[in-house]
Structure 1
Amino acid sequence: MRPIGIVSILREQTPAPDRSFNFLMAAAGNNTGNLLFTHAVWEHLPGPKERIGFQFDPDKVNATCRAVVFPAANWFGAHVDLADFADRVERLDVPVTMIGLGAQDHDFTGKVDVPEGTLRFVRAVAERSRSISVRGTYTRDILARHGFRDVTVTGCPSLYQPLQPDAERRLLENAKSTLGPTLLHSTRFSARYRAFVDTPSIHLDLYRYAYRTRSDLLFQSELEEISLLVEAAKKPDIDDALIATLLDLYGAASWEELQAYLHNSARVFFDIPAWTQAMTGYGRAYGTRLHATIMALNSGVPALLVHHDSRTREVCEFADLPSLKASRAALDEDAISKSITRADFGKFLKTRGRNQETYRAFLADNGLL
């Protein structure tokens, strides 16, 4: 049987002194959260598979693969033009399936300006598949406004990674426990974007709270901090101006103190098994990262997501992820514990089971099972 060609980032990698930092991050799509849904899609598809990369040759794929799969992200928005994907998919003769497409809209207004290249890409996929998998009803409705109606709401494929042993029992029993450390997570890319520090947000508050309480902090896309934690060549320069910004960002008194905190309490993972194993040491997880929350829940760790845009909100609503909106988030130990204690993890697990059936039916309908 010919393999399924998967258009994805690397599933995992190991940081090394001879590997450039830019390659390390780029191979994870500049956000290690991408590893979670990518890994999930690879695990969910049986039979032979091969990674064909983002610059795949359509003629070669037509000759060697039986189908093409795109593990998708929040690609339906003004921030990205996927004309190159459109050019390639339009030349494919094999079935093409997109899994987990999301719309990106900060204000949840439904007014999403989508570049023509992205519309062409989605149209080309739609013409080669039974339906398109999307992360929530919000994305479904936005796609419908652009004429795409063969859509299945599945949520993110990372939701359906196998639960760790005894995860359901631990979620239900440990939700009311105060034992174990808290893993915090927030959302940011490069600290060179000074406006992040100068603009009040739940994201900024989380970084400062984590540092103030010396809590463990998970990184996924924070380039400067990650560069301090991993072995890699050609790391980005951290000059005096950037140090000053980082000190302001965390509310730290000195660069030495901030570096010590990061080396002692920060975490970053470039492979899913290591990330999963590390989660077993935590009592709870809290913050604005969708995939950090899903990883915790799949590992049996009570977690709550602070949703802050259309992408995070729609998955919370569809999957019944324990969550609250950013304007209601209070950052102190008691408030975090109470928010998690009040969360309905039983409802999440029940909804997960029902949605997983929809997801598997989607895969089967597209000839992938």
Structure 2
Amino acid sequence: MRVFLLGATPSFNMDAVSTPSERLAATGGNSGNQVIAYGLLRELSYSSVSWDYSIGTDRVNAEYDVIVIAAANFLFPAFDFAGMAAFIERTNLPCVMVGVGAQSNTFSPDIELKPGTKRLMEIVSERSKLIGVRGPFSAEVLEHIGITNVQVTGCPSYYMSCKPELKIAKPALPQTPRMAINLSRDVLKHSFDADQMRKVIRQIASEAVRYGADFIAQTEMDEIILTESPGTPEADAALERAYGFFSGIADEPALREWLRTHMRVYWSVDDWIREVKTCDFVFGQRFHGNMIAIQSGVPAMFVCHDSRTTEMCSFLGLPYVSLKELDTVNARELYEKADFAPLAQRYAELYPAYRTFLETNKLPHKLGSSVSGKVAAEIS
């Protein structure tokens, strides 16, 4: 099978982009997007793959057998996928979309989608047996616009181990644990409650300063500049902006030192996995930042701040706490609260259903069908 990939991409040419803003743009504005495509490609069997849309639709028609879309929160009022819709319409290939999700600060399915986004979903519906959506709410949003050939699969990153069991061990947290956090501090308006989200973000960061935890940035440009361009005037300016947001969560010298030395960003999923495997615990608001930990066998707690993260965590059996429920953030309490038994049970139910989804859409895959010995969630 020859796959042409649209949507999220698993990697980019680091030599072609040198500045932090260029690198972030190459990921589609969120380094976590790479995890979606990385996970999906790990699951598929293919002879060749490309995501270079600049080759044009004539070559795509001639050189590939199927268009696969590694989808994210496409069902969002501000996004318009008219360009992707037009690209697919100029081909005659089947098209399979995996992991499309809705994003909103409510659970009303009446999301005002752009015409181009609606057209994209119509084309994919016409050219595939089933559309893979992230959760029941996303399915409702599509049903609201007349699209019903869907299967709730969750995100393809959930299955990236390609193994039929997913079990996370939770030993006692060490006295001086190695932790990492992730935050969504630049998307306050997407949350259920912007004021509560700001409060929780600052409390998570306060715990990170206390434990010397790394902040793994995904979209937060100031934090990315701090790790990518240390010692530059740009980093000095980014430090002042970040300090202005976090001011008061710790004494000034400790906070400034944390901002200078504990910001991280990973442009390679393999590098990200390698570093997260050294952690005892990961927590925060970024779905894929926490999913990297789960897929690496590291305990993680998801802090859900909108419909998108809540929908996925609830459907997939992931341990989570709602933004609405948090009065005070305490890292050790979050660790103790994290229960991975529902995840193991839910994964065992969803894994064969996801295999069936791929097979129904005639996508050859690498997902094993039997359990032999002790199966870990670790990526080999």
TM-score w.r.t. the length of structure 2 is 0.84
Amino acid in the other structure paired with 2:242: L
Alpha-carbon separation, structure 2, partners of 1:42 and 1:257: 42
Question: Aligned equivalents of 2:141 and 2:133: distance in 1?
Answer: 11
**84-93 or 245-254, which deviates more:** 245-254
The alignment of Structure 1 onto Structure 2 pairs a total of residues equal to 355
Asked whether the 8 Å contact 2:73–2:100 carries over to 1, the reply is yes
Amino acid aligned to 2:246: Y
Q: Which residue of 2 aligns with 1:302?
A: 299
Q: 1:90 to 1:13 in 2, by over 3 A?
A: closer
Using a 3 Å threshold, how does the CA distance of structure 1 residues 346 and 163 change in structure 2: closer, same or farther? farther
Show CA shifts across 1:77-102 (max 9, x none). Answer: 20101111111112221100111000
Structure 1 residues 17 and 246: CA distance shift in structure 2, 3 A = farther
Would the aligned equivalents of 1:178 and 1:337 in 2 still touch at CA under 8 Å? no
CA distance in 2, matches of 1:24, 1:31: 10
Q: Which amino acid in structure 2 is aligned with residue 266 of structure 1?
A: M
Cα–Cα, structure 1 residues 46 and 236, in superposed 2: closer, same or farther, change >3 Å?
Answer: farther
- For residues 77-132 of structure 1, the C-alpha deviation after alignment (integer angstroms, 9 at most, x for no partner) is 20101111111112221100111000011122333111111000110111111110
Match of 2:214 among 213, 216, 225: 216
1:205 CA drift (Å) = 3.5
Alpha-carbon deviation of 1:266? 2.3
Does 2:176 match 1:177? no
Stretch moving more, 102-111 or 145-154 = 102-111
What stretches of structure 2 of length at least 5 have no aligned partner?
189-193, 365-380
Task: Find the residue that maps to 2:127 and give its secondary structure.
Answer: coil
Structure 1, unaligned runs of 5 or more: none
The structural deviation recorded for 1:182 is 2.4
Q: Mean alpha-carbon deviation: is it higher for 279-288 or for 304-313?
A: 279-288
For the 8 Å contact 1:6–1:68, the answer to whether it is kept is yes
1:169-318 matches, cutoff 5 A: 171-174=168-171, 176-179=172-175, 180-189=177-186, 200-211=198-209, 214-230=212-228, 237=234, 244-251=240-247, 258=255, 260-318=257-315
Query: Once the 2 structures are TM-superposed, how far is the Cα of residue 256 of structure 1 from its aligned partner?
Result: 7.6
In structure 1, the residue matched to 2:374 is none
Q: Which residue of 2 is the match for residue 360 of structure 1? A: 355
Sequence identity (%) = 27
- The 1-side partners of 2:5 and 2:111 are apart by 28
Q: Which structure 2 residues correspond to residues 44-83 of structure 1 after superposition, within 5 A?
A: 44-55=43-54, 57-83=56-82
- Pairing partner for 1:326 from 323, 327, 344: 323
Deviation, 1:172, is 2.9
- The letter for the 1-side match of 2:51 is I
**Residues 18 and 258 (structure 1), Cα distance of their counterparts in 2 relative to 1, 3 Å cut:** farther
In structure 1, what is the equivalent of residue 108 of structure 2? 109
CA–CA separation in structure 1 for the residues paired with 2:342 and 2:196: 39
For 1:206 and 1:177, the matched residues in 2 are separated by 17
Q: Distance in 2 between matches of 1:163 and 1:89?
A: 29
**Matched ranges for 1:13-92 at <5 A:** 13=12, 19-55=18-54, 57-92=56-91
CA contact (8 A) 2:204 2:329 kept: no
Tell whether the 8 Å contact from 1:159 to 1:294 is kept in structure 2 after alignment.
Answer: yes
TM-score by length of 1: 0.86
- Counterpart in the other structure of 2:345: 350
Q: Distance in 2 between matches of 1:9 and 1:259?
A: 34
Q: For the Cα contact (< 8 Å) 1:5–1:69, is it kept in 2?
A: yes
1:41 & 1:116 partners in 2: Cα distance?
27
Q: Residue 4 of structure 2 aligns to a residue in which SS? A: strand
